[in-house]
Structure 1
Amino acid sequence: MTPPESPRPSRRDLLMWGGGALATASLSGCSFLSTDPSGGKKAAGGAAQKAKGKEAPMLAQQVKAGKLPKLEQRLPKNPLVVQPAEKVGTYGGTFKSVMLNAADTPWLGRTMGYEALLRFDPTGRKIIPNIAESVTPNDKGDEFTIKLREGMKWSDGKPFTADDLEFGFNDWLLNSELSPVVPDWISSAGQPAKLTKVDDVSVKVTFPKPNGLFRSKLAYNVFFAPKHYLQQFHKKYNPDAEKLAKQQKMTAWTDLFGSKNDHWGNPELPTLCAWVTKNPLGTGSRVTFERNPYYFKTDPDGRQLPYLDRANYDVISDVQVLLLKGSNGELDMTTRHINTLPNKPVLARGREKGQYHFITLENTVMNDIVISLNLNHKDPVVRKIFQDKNFRIGLSHAIDRPEMIKTVFQRQGVPWQAAPDERSEFYDEEFAKQYTEYDVAKANSYLDKAGLTKKDSAGYRLRPDGKRLIIQVEVASPSLTPSWVDGTDLVTQFWRKVGVDAQMKNEDRTLFYERKDATANEHDAAVWMGDGGLLIEMLEPRWYFPFSGESNYAELWQQWFNTYGKEGEEPPAAPKKQMQLYRQLIATIDENEQKAIYKQILQIAKEQFYCIGCVRIPNTYGIVKNNLHNVPAKMPEASIMATPALSNPEQWFKS
């Protein structure tokens, strides 16, 4: 997000939702025992319920022609029944959407590909069964039994069994050539878990120490992969894999395996998702999908899902074209890229003509703009300045947040630090509001305390070595929201007023990620949104301590944490203490104890003040065509929930 949303297709993007990788902590209000995939909603009556047939006409025709087995042979013994958000739907129709360039693969995952062993319910408050019928821990929480659905099949009709979990776990994620670093969700105490096949539909995952967050992680990461297909490209199963790679002009078998294990780029890859790729990414200006005849879910009447036959995604490069398509009613739904505050009046004016309406997105992001100074900066002089808390406090007081809210956020939002939302059980008002007061005198005082008292002839503060302190604040383009550019431009103006020569650098998103990565570590400061403010606080603690590659303020410290000291740089005592606490949190299965530990982590985060927040927007919005049904009027927005996929796109239908 992981789950960051990466700038280009990654292993996580390609297989996260229904092809083949896991995060952390029990959710606020989660019930792991719930088996209701609808979140408690019951199907409403209506004309759609009178539709005949248990499968789509296009599939019934194939059965009649002898090209497809009968429905009862395609469904598992115990299909997952999905309760529609409004009413039982009708078959047919094509979902129309767009991708904002080829790197926008997260949108595919958020609509076409959310199928994990467990999943978030439509409210985001519960984790419920999905591909797995059950995931049962032992009393200690160091062993989990995963039971699959008997008779379930891949999209090519081949059986989906425990062999696919065993292959994905041992031969993919624990293969050092394919995955040099063992993912944290299948390890504890720095050691990988062991997966043992019990029978064709059951496996046991055993950890060296308890893993109280394993079930939560199973809701947005997967470790299964189609063994019957991918083994032909794996060196362990095919001695000629290297030769095969060279024949396809690839350097190594691992490259070949990766290209074949690409849900969006390889239409031959079997999937468990509701739709299969037909025209893949990279072969033109449109990516297309068609229903999976072996999909394992039904509606309450026993009719196989999905309702929609197909999906088309046009690949475009201009967000203004996307906005035009949205306002013209050419998109069936979107919750991405154009759902900004400045665009809302434009979209509001187009509703009648475009025949669409707004839905509410409950924002799990606690801040629209989080600025991370690089506390691990390569330049030791700059590093010392950035690590001085007084410097960061001074810069925070220099930001005129009310002016930013007025000019950038259409008078919506409140000043906020990188702290949990006020609706969160972890809300701390002092943490959220500290240093948000706009006070130039305080800003200058704190900057002076940081030792930056000398200035050049232009009035800019000098480093201890006599050079002007220059800060490039990097913003990814295309941004997830235009407010990043406008807001960051304002911030650099505010900082220049207190003598800090700050310059906004708008750069390609891929370059942005390359520069801030721990390997390069070349950024001065970076801008991103504040993930992990509501519902998923413990699953997404990137802003509260150096937790992941998205902790932009301390990439070397997070690398040290995630490699157990083998790489990166050993952090100071405070972040190291947080890392120890988080390991303790993972090691307990007691939810109350987890929360108590997490509050300690947040208390240290408040004291350390790693990064600077600007504005919190409680809710955002999406648009939905009036003839697209079963899309809830409200849903949480979070990348690890794959919004809007947690609302079950397989039960969307058109009238």
Structure 2
Amino acid sequence: MIRLLLGISLLIGGGLPAGAAMAQEPASIPFFQQAVADGTLPPMQDRLPETPLVVPLLDGQTIGRYGGELRSLIDRPADVKLMFVYGYARLVGYNTALEIEPDIVEKLDVEEGRIFTFTLRRGHRWSDGAPFTSEDFRYWWEDVANNRKLSPAGPPAALLVDGEMPVVTFPDEVTVRYEWSMPNPNFLPHLAGAAPLVIYRPAHYLKPFHEEYVDLSGMNKVQRIKFKAWASKHNRLDNVYKFDNPDLPTLQPWQNTTSAPANRFVGERNPYFHRVDAEGKQLPYIDRMILSVSEGKLISAKAAAGDSDLQARALNLKDATFLKENEKRSDYKILLWPTVRGSHIALYPNLNASDPMWRDLMRDVRFRRALSLAIDREEINDVLFFGLASEGNNAVQKQSVFYSEDLRTRWSGLDLEKASALLDEIGLTARNKEGIRLLPNGEPLAIIVETAGESTEQTDVLELIRDSWREVGVKLYTKPSQRSVFRNRIFSGETIMSVWSGYENGAPTPRSSPAILAPTSQQSYQWPKWGQFFETKGRSGEAPDMPAAIRLNELYAEWLYAGTDEARSRIWREMLDIHVDQQFSIGLVGGILQPIVVKNHLKNVPEKAIFNWDPGAHFGIYHPDLFWFDTQAE
């Protein structure tokens, strides 16, 4: 359950008051010694906010030493954003109990669930040394989010409560207030996410690229013509989450220093980072985070050869045995962290497909149920996951209070006879000489399942599904593409079915947002146009026109205003029931163990943890800024 800690500046579990932590002069950081000696950088105590965040150690963690380069492998340049994800500096963030607490902000006050007052840390600075103040929040709200040239659709839909945007005020340089007339239970989870809602920007850096802050009279004709494209340049430079602009100041523990495109991205420690350990030493301990781009299918081999200090990206459970065999040779250990997605892999029938025939077919619940019943999940589990996975729907895992066997198993058991009967009932009775059913237009019933081309695991799963679907007269073809192309094809309706991971949070509580269960996001691949309609407040996309989808939106709206956990639980259960019954996404297996490669001299990586995107940010909630290298042990 999310617990809001109001009016505090320390993470739960202890941590010394700032004054106590700094009573003794902490050791300087060797990485910055020359810059401090030259006078180009202030000493540590002058780089920290007046009240830094003291981060307590988790069980098994120890005070670390400075230095070292943390190497990890990524399978595409766009994943440089993992520096931002793993750094996990957020206005408020989840702790390991998945409670939300202040982080970047010193204090948070919440009144009636609708008025949120943030108090910033005095003396906090951006990575380039410029002050971090309420002006950075004002700039984003007034000059970015509400500037039609920069944000044509207006502020993010995540800030909407029943169509109402917040009233945002900035009483002084360390105070920011967001106020709605009704409760907004989603606001803090949006701020704490792995890919968060970022409601501030480095105003001092971006203002010179904004028309409101540039004196055109001082420009010549050519300069004025070039400046007409100021909005596109501003948006290109303002890549807070993408993390690919090395000139953009950050509040993360490491700042990317490498411009894209590149095959090796180097993040260097932020000299003004706001966190310290219990001895008052500024974090992070590690000097550099290095992300090297590699072919995805080679990452497990490179990790086994010792080319990564911390690796989870592109590793699957099937790699665990191979990785285990190379532990001693390459001086690392393998950890297995359980995942809590609703389903590790799921199929997404595109209910917004552009082709009328396919759209009608995908919207027929009998068709979706038939496809689910014709999948041999036990075979998938045995062949690819050593029988260790949980077979069933894209629903919730056993860690959730909403778990039931019915939610996991309804319409998900292998039943080829029932699947065939449903397809017959639809009218798909004619077959060709190969036994493949014929569509209304006379063509074979061949479903093209599109992938992002990044996971051999997904491809292997589709190979197994192909065999069982063939038995009920359905052909399956796989079409890989790059992730950006993959998503754009889904959004436009060109894709009729895709494969992706299931719901990130498979262990929700009553206070977890059920937004993912309703058509609220274009990123929900079963109804991208309905999600876009919600996100753009009706300016783009299509309004939902299926009763079940409309009901999900109604239930989500009810949850937003529910005043008790009992009411929220009732809503969650009905939404989960609708999803399972309708098979809007077709789950396969869940509860997968994620292998983690950790070099033996890398310390403070938890032995036991969950591996989840949101909440969790993969490694983020375990504070990689506390990880350190014990070089003396080598």
2:306 is the counterpart of 1:324: no
Tell me, in whole angstroms, the C-alpha distance in 1 between the residues paired with 2:498 and 2:152. Answer: 27
Tell me, in whole angstroms, the C-alpha distance in 1 between the residues paired with 2:55 and 2:207. Answer: 33
The match for 1:76 is 49
Residues 353 and 633 of structure 1: is their aligned pair in 2 closer, same or farther, counting only changes over 3 Å?
A: same
Alignment of 1:74-473 (within 5 A): 74-85=47-58, 86-111=61-86, 113-121=87-95, 123-139=96-112, 141-181=113-153, 182-220=155-193, 221=196, 222-240=198-216, 252-263=229-240, 264-282=243-261, 284-316=262-294, 318-338=295-315, 340-473=316-449
2:508 is the counterpart of 1:530: no
**Aligned AA for 2:139?**
F
Residues 190 and 542 of structure 1: is their aligned pair in 2 closer, same or farther, counting only changes over 3 Å?
A: closer
**Bigger mean CA deviation after superposition, 538-547 or 508-517:** 538-547
SS at match of 1:634: coil
Tell me, in whole angstroms, the C-alpha distance in 1 between the residues paired with 2:476 and 2:411. Answer: 19
Q: Could you tell me which runs of 5 or more consecutive residues in structure 1 were left unpaired when the two chains were aligned.
A: 1-27, 44-50
Q: Could you tell me which runs of 5 or more consecutive residues in structure 2 were left unpaired when the two chains were aligned.
A: 17-23
**Bigger mean CA deviation after superposition, 602-611 or 351-360:** 602-611
- 1:653 is aligned, of 628, 631, 634, to 628
How far did 1:135 drift? 2.1
Residues 248 and 430 of structure 1: is their aligned pair in 2 closer, same or farther, counting only changes over 3 Å?
A: farther
2:38 is the counterpart of 1:59: no
Task: Provide TM-score, normalisation by structure 1.
Answer: 0.88
How far did 1:244 drift? 11
How far did 1:33 drift? 4.7
How far did 1:162 drift? 0.6
How far did 1:76 drift? 0.8
Task: Provide TM-score, normalisation by structure 2.
Answer: 0.90
**Aligned AA for 1:144?**
F
The match for 1:501 is 475
SS at match of 1:512: helix
Tell me, in whole angstroms, the C-alpha distance in 1 between the residues paired with 2:562 and 2:416. Answer: 46
Q: Deviations over 1:423-476 (max 9, x none)?
A: 211213212101222122111111111221122233221223333322101111
Tell me, in whole angstroms, the C-alpha distance in 2 between the residues paired with 1:311 and 1:108. Answer: 8
Tell me, in whole angstroms, the C-alpha distance in 2 between the residues paired with 1:212 and 1:543. Answer: 14
- The answer on whether the counterparts of 2:451 and 2:486 sit within 8 Å (CA) in structure 1 is yes
Tell me, in whole angstroms, the C-alpha distance in 1 between the residues paired with 2:336 and 2:386. Answer: 17
Q: Deviations over 1:254-293 (max 9, x none)?
A: 22112322353322211111122223332x4321121111
How far did 1:533 drift? 4.0
The match for 2:569 is 595
Residues 292 and 533 of structure 1: is their aligned pair in 2 closer, same or farther, counting only changes over 3 Å?
A: closer
Residues 311 and 466 of structure 1: is their aligned pair in 2 closer, same or farther, counting only changes over 3 Å?
A: closer
Tell me, in whole angstroms, the C-alpha distance in 2 between the residues paired with 1:243 and 1:125. Answer: 55
The match for 2:609 is 635
The match for 2:542 is 569
How far did 1:523 drift? 0.4
- The answer on whether the counterparts of 2:9 and 2:106 sit within 8 Å (CA) in structure 1 is no
How far did 1:251 drift? 7.6
Residues 646 and 247 of structure 1: is their aligned pair in 2 closer, same or farther, counting only changes over 3 Å?
A: farther
SS at match of 1:438: coil
Residues 163 and 548 of structure 1: is their aligned pair in 2 closer, same or farther, counting only changes over 3 Å?
A: same
**Aligned AA for 1:468?**
P
- The answer on whether the counterparts of 1:31 and 1:127 sit within 8 Å (CA) in structure 2 is yes
Tell me, in whole angstroms, the C-alpha distance in 2 between the residues paired with 1:643 and 1:248. Answer: 45
How far did 1:536 drift? 4.8
**Aligned AA for 1:95?**
L
Q: Considering only aligned residues, what root-mean-square deviation do their CA atoms show, in Å?
A: 2.6
Residues 329 and 543 of structure 1: is their aligned pair in 2 closer, same or farther, counting only changes over 3 Å?
A: same
Between structures 1 and 2, the one with greater helix share: 2
The match for 2:19 is none
SS at match of 2:484: helix
Residues 262 and 555 of structure 1: is their aligned pair in 2 closer, same or farther, counting only changes over 3 Å?
A: closer
Residues 270 and 243 of structure 1: is their aligned pair in 2 closer, same or farther, counting only changes over 3 Å?
A: farther
**Aligned AA for 1:530?**
G
2:450 is the counterpart of 1:474: yes
Tell me, in whole angstroms, the C-alpha distance in 1 between the residues paired with 2:595 and 2:388. Answer: 13
Identity %, equivalent residues: 31
Residues 531 and 248 of structure 1: is their aligned pair in 2 closer, same or farther, counting only changes over 3 Å?
A: farther
**Aligned AA for 1:279?**
T
Residues 279 and 561 of structure 1: is their aligned pair in 2 closer, same or farther, counting only changes over 3 Å?
A: closer
SS at match of 1:254: helix
Tell me, in whole angstroms, the C-alpha distance in 1 between the residues paired with 2:515 and 2:446. Answer: 26
